[in-house]
Amino acid sequence: MNLFGKQTVSMTWDFPEANIFLETVGGYLPAAQYIADCVETLPWNVEPGAASQANAASNTITAGKVVSTDPPYYDNIGYADLSDFFYVWLRHAMRGVFPALFATMVVPKDDELVATPGRHGGKDAAELFFLEGMTQAMRRLAEQAHAAYPTTIYYAFKQAETTELGTSSTGWETFLEAVIRSGFAITGTWPLRSEQEFRMRGLGANALASSIVLVCRQRSIAAPSISRRDFMRELKDELKDAVQVMIGGGEGVSPVAPVDLAQAVIGPGMAIFSKYSAVLEADGSSMTVHTALTLINRMLTEGADEFDADTQFCLGWFDEQGWAAGEFGKADVLARAKGTSVDHVRDARVVEAGYGKVRLLKPAEYPSDWSPLKDNNTPVWEAMHQLIRALRNEGETLAGTLLAGMPDRAEPIRNLAYRLYTLCERKGWADDARAYNELITSWTGIEAASHEKGHLGSQTKFEM
């Protein structure tokens, strides 16, 4: 309350302006250098460019052009509202120079293509406004797209709703619905590293680190329909290989981080969904984008049968209990179902069992003198958490030394880290999810260190 008895409203900005005299992001010299670096890469032997404004839903300037666009992100950012902060001062200074640009008192907002409930009478109306507007804009792009080249669309809206059925987001669903309704087929997606690691939004959170590039082409007007059963069969046949490519990376291509995998996997999944005129449910209705995304994400979390029995038990117990202790009877039933026993898992030194309780050990509780060369009972679960312990305590070099002693475990360890990240994201266990994300983002360095050490069987001496 202020002195006049009225409520005072304040706004906290998490992106403050930097001191322009400091050599840091926002400072004058770094900013000038960024611009100079860009200018130096520009080709000078081409025709001059031009800039113009047009409504995306009715434009003609994209006809026959190669288009790469970065559209609004549903309700993530109120661009026009934020622009008012600067607009009022620019208008005061520049209205005489550019009267047409500064004709209004504040930034126009009615036609802004974002899902803002306050402007449209509620959440549902705002979603409908966004869907219809984005569909019109995407349809215009699809109609005018150059036949020889794909249209690329950048989108960085993190899927926010993670449940037992999978991960979804109203923003993503509505946007993808608009893209598919427009006549585009999504032929691929890939994360493009576009966010700074230490930005305010990313500190202390599993924030999306990349923008997702949707690669789109016009869908054939003769595209057939497909049944739900055939769609699921095609997903199962193709999605696993696509995910393995994303997890493993390739020559000159880094693996997709776990924090981005649920976004990236939309590409190959929606490529199957969107190439058909419709995916038909048992009752003859068309499958929704929401259902398709749920099925795609469910495929991402399946496939634990690639792990040993002890690791499968640990996965199931972690899903049920986390790091907390649970009843021995329940653990015994789960262990038998997975083809192992609580005693066997305890002997692997990954659980603590006693007094009628069973608890998974945290990475920090694992012995620091562990060596894969001296352990004859090493579940993938243990190997992965030992790498996490080593990475956190002593860095990539020690983690690489451990990996060098068990090179055949590299792929299962990496796959388990992705799976556990997805599980923790679903449960809302941000700190645990971060540990698995860190392991994957450090994987290239760990592998390099393991090769320097020499893999088991390829070296004459292995020192710990």
What residues of the chain score a pLDDT lower than 50?
1-11, 159-168, 196-209, 304, 456-464
Euclidean distance between the first and the last CA atom of the chain, given in angstroms as a whole number: 64
Q: What angle do CA 319, 412, 256 make, to 5 degrees?
A: 85
Contact 270, 176 (CB under 8 A): yes
Least Cα distance to 269 among 302, 250, 295 occurs for: 295
CA 175 to chain centre: 16
**Type of residue at 64:** G
Rounded distance, CA 119 to CA 397, Å? Answer: 54
pLDDT at position 162, please? 43
Rounded distance, CA 417 to CA 352, Å? Answer: 22
pTM for the full model?
A: 0.60
Beta-carbon contacts of residue 81 (< 8 Å; ≥ 6 apart): 107, 109
Rounded distance, CA 70 to CA 6, Å? Answer: 42
- The tens digit of pLDDT for each residue in 41-50 reads 888 777 777 7
pLDDT at position 455, please? 55
- Structural domain boundaries of the chain? 66-73+117-300, 305-453
DSSP 261-315: HHHHTHHHHHHHHHTSSEEE-TTSPBPPHHHHHHHHHHHHT--GGGS-HHHHHHH
Least Cα distance to 169 among 111, 208, 143, 196 occurs for: 208
Radius of gyration for the chain, computed over Cα atoms and rounded to the nearest angstrom: 26
Q: Which tokens hold the place of 191?
A: 């994360």
Beta-carbon contacts of residue 273 (< 8 Å; ≥ 6 apart): 180, 231, 279, 287, 289, 292, 296
Rounded distance, CA 140 to CA 216, Å? Answer: 13
pLDDT at position 413, please? 92
